[in-house]
Amino acid sequence: MPSMPNQFFIVVITAFITLATTGYSLAEEVPEKTTEGTTKQFPKNARLPLEELRNFTQVFDQVRQAYVEEVDDEKLLEMSIIGLLNNLDPHSVYLDKNAFTSLQEHTSGEFGGLGIEVGIEGAFIKVISPIDDTPAQRAGIQVGDLIIKLDEHAVQSMSLGEAIEIMRGPKGSTLTLTIVRDQVDSPFEIKVVRDIIKIRSVRSKMLEPNIGYVRIAQFQENTGSQFRKALEKLSAKSNNLKGIVLDLRNNPGGLLHASIDVSDALLDGGLVVYTEGRIPSANSSFHAKAGDLLKGLPVIVLINEGSASAAEIVAGALQDHHRAVILGTDSFGKGSVQTVIPLDQDRAIKLTTARYFTPSKRSIQAAGIKPDIVVAPAEIKLLRTRDNIKEANLSGHLSNSSNKQARKDSNTLMEDNQLYEAVNLLKGLDLLSHNKKMGIDHSNNEN
């Protein structure tokens, strides 16, 4: 066997030492600036396994000399890094120039592509969530779909970064996804037309005159401030706001600090989340400041299997502090924190560095948030009733002098049974609260 060049051996050793002494910033999905000149190291007793390192250099040399096609050394080293990270967990990945740029655009709220959050499951690409108002959602991509082909390219041999790169493309171009879906007998194709994806992180409206609705599609840089503005806007619209529905369904997560900001707006102090990892910088706790913007008004949080990561942090914190009722189905179960570690200006690695825990020390990893009230998606069909005669139909009936409140069109609620149940629950909580304040006891009413 040819001897390994000393220069290459030095390069490999240097690469390992560089990874071991790179500064870490505890922020999920996006790099943060660290203090210049500071480094955080692995424990001093950590040793490199020299025998395995020698085996690696021998394999590398055999590939570069004997593989059927010539591959340059830079490409082989990059492939080695990709393989190392892909075998750790589904969320640790190598970010080349395009992937690194895409990640930065993604967290800022504008990027090109399909509008879909994906991960690796086995040999396939799994849909974590289609993003609101994007080509993927409009084309019918669903949470849990497995993508087995992108156009004519099978995904089995692809890294996550390679698959994402294929999904990106110029506005107006078409990509055909071959999908495997539960309860569908055979794979089928969905054509998606690419577009410029502009994520609107926070949307809000009044569902009824005194019930507010806030939808968070993804946790980005400004989500916390946008959420606070949405609450203030809803409060200004209604002089008698009864509560809000916070919709985190199909929210794939995003920035850790954004989830803390959102929780802070609804909590009157207390622990939001804490993280535990192997290095000191991965062990942190995050607390809410005093001051609940809604002053204790009821909150219903909607979650489902597409609610992941930062969305689960918010749901878990509000649930543990008994600040909200969680309604829907079990969440995704991503309870880990990824740190983006730049290697240079154009490349980085995204490495899982910690697990996060809710205030009551629950780990969400592979378990998810369990809703307080389970409501699965369903179609609501009103039963037709006979036109029975009522008091109002009788000739000469006594009139009702009380004011009749106009009923708002409920088509939107009827199309979304989970939202419909959330609104009904808010009404029930308000009714109980009102009766308690007024001292009303219906049990003594006469027939």
Residues annotated as catalytic are 309, 320, 334
Residue 281: name the closest of 19, 16, 22 by CA: 22
Length of the chain in terms of residues written: 447
Q: Is 446 helix (H, G, I), strand (E, B) or coil?
A: coil
The C-alpha R_g of the chain, in whole angstroms, comes to 27
Angle, CA of 200, 201 and 202, to the nearest 5°: 100
Tell me the C-alpha to C-alpha distance, in Å, between residue 93 and each of 287, 430, 439: 30, 47, 60
Which run of H or E residues covers position 309?
Answer: none
Note the helical H segments in 198-306. Answer: 223-237, 256-266
Q: What's phi and psi for 295, nearest 5 deg? A: 50, 45
CA 373 to chain centre: 21
Beta bridge partners, 15, equal none
The whole-angstrom separation of Cα 349 and Cα 192 is: 29
Which run of H or E residues covers position 213?
Answer: strand 211-216
Confirm if 342 and 315 have CB atoms less than 8 A apart: no
Angle, CA of 201, 207 and 209, to the nearest 5°: 130
